[in-house]
Amino acid sequence: MRLSRLVMTLVLALPLVATTASAASTSRMPITLTSVLPAVAEAVPSPGDDFRITGRTTVSAPDSVAGQLADALRPATGFDLPLVPAGGDIDLALEPGHGDEGYRLTVRKSGVDLRATAPAGLFNGVQTLRQLLPAAAEAGAPIIPGGTIDDRPRYAYRGTMLDLARHFHTPDEIRRYIDQISRFKINYLHLHLGDDQGWRIEIDAWPRLTTVGGGPGTGVGGDGGGFLTKDDYRGLVRYAAERFVTIVPEIDMPGHVNAAQVAYPELTCDGVAPRARTDMRVGYSTLCVRAEITYRFLDDVLRELAEMTPGPYLHIGGDETFATPHGSYLAFQRRLLPLVRKHGKIPYGWHEIGQSPAAGDARLQFWGRERNNPSVTSAVAAGAKVIMSPSEHTYLDMKYDNFTPGGLDWAGAIEVSTAYGWDPATQLGGIPESSVIGVEAPLWSETLRSLADIEFLAFPRLVAIAEIGWSPRATHDWDSFRARLGAYGPRWVRDGVRFHRSPEIRWS
Ligand code: TNX
């Protein structure tokens, strides 16, 4: 099923490049096996072995997907790229030996072989193949450079986050973001679904969360509002899975809960509804840690979220709890962390949850700027794993520079070179390299409304984070990265992505 959709993606992509007008042939850099973003692990070019796509080029993929492939080939294109049962000129197949997400791409004069152990690996190989074809092929025949790529990720977790709470983003906008992030082998999308301003995911047992907490005017500054229905959410999970992206839902607690308390005053200790708030302050709200109803509420929310989330993680926030005394915070985590596990999920939270002795094998999302964090060190010693989101490198909501429209600046300006200039393995001292399982670039939405706003802050910086997360340390090289990024520009133009034309990059 997944494989079939993957093959459709490939086949739909090929005719497109085969028929539109050329840009790449006039750009500064010829496409080679090492032009790819994120950088591939190993490439052995074979000059003279280029493969030329023509009107007679055939495509094959495993039997189970042949039908869908044929359907996908029918749209009128310059080239037919007809499907054959096996041994096509462009041949996709599964075989052992390439890991969960890796693949081998072999390009010869006689054809192209893409091999992977799992469908996710084929999908990743297809993203590479797309970038090896011109941004827009001339009416003539596009050429794929000859040689072999052996590629696999450095880290298993390569994520980004959208904040639906401060400004709601629609399912269409989220799908479009998924389309773009998956081009760069980003495989986790974290959705921040509840905060002081708004609550954005339907929960059957507590309907006012969305009817009140997600109502009109619940965005920052009284903007917009809105929420995902369960159907919306399930649809996003499916759409993401077809692109090998796993959704991670977050409900932030015990702080960042004002919208839930406006909807349900019984979630406060005095039972009095707070006023609705759409300013940008943080750290003033807290669930009532000593009240039993708090844990019935959490049990319901986590159960319903777990039911509609096939991925392994539930993100429980845990940051900026200035209104929760430390002892109460620990008492709260002692009850909350087992609830997540009871619903079959691995607890994932901002690194503050590492203060809890109950963190166990939880995932800690490190967002700090310090180079050593004692509670992270001790949580890791007790079995926790870390996802690196150091704010001064990965926060996509920071301005690029003083002139950036929108964005915040508390973690400093982040130009592309700053997003690229760090190493997840050594950024945080006091923990072994093996405890870091990946990277994530959060995009907070206080100042963002539209998809254009999202794209402008995410691209190109998210690509830097994707390369930091996917590519081997030895391939990290700013000059190489900026040249490849500059050459990617025409693809974003073609796709209508409104990226930041960073002055650090020479754009094609
Ligand atoms: C800090 S990072 C927050 C968010 C804000 C963000 C703005 C983190 C765990 N918490 O509540 O939206 O700064 O950049």
Is 367 near ligand 1, meaning CB less than 6 Å away? yes
Chain length of the chain: 508
Neighbours of 197 (CB within 10 A): 31
The residue written with tokens 């809960």 in the block is 257
CA neighbor of 324 nearest in space, from 405, 422, 250, 257: 257
CATH class of the region 4-151: alpha beta
Based on its alpha-carbon atoms, the radius of gyration of the chain, rounded to whole angstroms, reads 23
Query: Does ligand 1 lie within 6 Å of residue 459's CB atom?
Result: no
Nearest 5°: phi and psi at 11? -70, -35
Q: CA-to-CA distance for 110 and 114, rounded, in angstroms?
A: 14
CA of 442 to the centre of ligand 1 (A): 9
Distance separating alpha carbons of residues 269 and 256, to the nearest angstrom: 15
CA of 162 to the centre of ligand 1 (A): 12
What pLDDT is attached to residue 68?
41
Residue nearest to atom 7 of ligand 1 (CA): 444
- Give 3-state DSSP helix, strand, coil % of the chain, rounded to 5: 35, 15, 45
Amino acid at 281: R
Kindly state if the Cβ of 413 falls inside 6 Å of ligand 1.
no
What does 6-35 look like in DSSP terms, one character per residue?
HHHHHHHHHHHHHHSPPSGGGSSS---TT-
Cα(492) to centroid of ligand 1, in Å? 28
User: What is the predicted pLDDT for the residue at 11?
Assistant: 47
140's CB contacts (< 8 A; 6+ apart) are: none
Dist CA 366 CA 351 (whole Å): 5
Per-residue tokens: 239: 């759409």
Q: What is the pLDDT of residue 350?
A: 98
Atom of ligand 1 nearest to the CA of 389: 2
Buried b (16+ CB within 10 A) or exposed e, 68-86: bbeebbeeebbbbbbbeee
Domain 157-495: assigned CATH number: 3.20.20.80
Rounded to a whole number, what is the largest CA-CA distance in the chain?
76
Cβ proximity of 264 and 297 under 8 Å? yes
Q: List CB contacts of 62: < 8 A, sequence separation 6 or more.
A: 3, 92, 93, 94
Per residue of the chain (508 residues), give pLDDT as tens.
Answer: 455 555 554 544 444 443 333 344 444 578 999 999 999 999 999 999 999 888 888 888 766 544 344 343 333 234 777 888 889 998 999 999 999 999 999 999 999 999 999 989 989 998 998 899 887 754 456 889 999 999 999 999 999 999 999 999 999 999 999 999 999 999 999 999 999 999 999 999 999 999 999 999 999 999 999 999 999 999 999 999 989 999 999 999 999 999 999 999 999 999 999 999 999 999 999 999 999 999 999 999 999 999 999 999 999 999 999 999 999 999 999 999 999 999 999 999 999 999 999 999 999 999 999 999 999 999 999 999 999 999 999 999 999 999 999 999 999 999 999 999 999 999 999 999 999 999 999 999 999 999 999 999 999 999 999 999 999 999 999 999 999 999 999 999 989 999 999 999 999 9
Q: Which of the 8 DSSP states describes residue 275?
A: P
In 355-422, where does DSSP find H-type helix? Answer: 374-381, 391-394, 416-420
Find out whether 245 and 275 touch, Cβ atoms under 8 Å: no
Q: Choosing from 292, 320, 440, 504, which is the catalytic residue?
A: 320
| pLDDT for position 430 | 97
CA neighbor of 336 nearest in space, from 311, 320, 365, 360: 360
Decide: 319 in ligand 1 pocket, CB within 6 A.
yes
Q: How many other C-beta atoms can be found within 10 angstroms of the C-beta atom of residue 92?
A: 27
> What residue owns the CA closest to ligand 1's atom 8?
319
**Start-to-end Cα distance in the chain:** 38
Q: Do the beta carbons of residue 420 and residue 467 sit within 8 Å? A: yes
Counting atoms of ligand 1 from 1, which one is nearest the CA of 397? 14
Using CB atoms within 10 A of its CB, is residue 326 exposed (0-12), middle (13-18) or buried (19+)? exposed
Reported as half-sphere exposure (CB side, CA atoms, 13 A), residue 6 has a value of 29
Q: Residue 416 to residues 32, 393, 442, 465: CA-CA distances in angstroms?
A: 23, 9, 15, 10
Ligand 1: which atom is nearest the Cα of residue 367? Answer: 2
Q: Is 366 in the pocket of ligand 1 (CB under 6 A)?
A: no
Inter-residue contact 38 to 471 (CB < 8 Å): yes
Residues of the chain with CATH 3.30.379.10: 4-151
Instruction: Please list the alpha-helical segments (H only) found in 276-325.
Output: 292-307
Domain with CATH 3.20.20.80 in the chain: 157-495
The residue whose C-alpha atom lies closest to atom 6 belonging to ligand 1 is: 444
Strand partners, 349: 364
Q: Residue 188 and residue 359: Cα distance in Å, rounded?
A: 22
Is 320 assigned a catalytic role?
Answer: yes
Cα 251 to averaged position of ligand 1 atoms, centre (Å):
14
CA 266 to chain centre: 35
The answer to whether the CB of 51 is under 6 A from ligand 1 is: no
Give 391 Cα–ligand 1 centroid separation in angstroms: 9
| CB-ligand 1 contact for 397 (6 Å cutoff) | yes
- Among protein residues, the one with the nearest Cα to ligand 1's atom 12 is 444
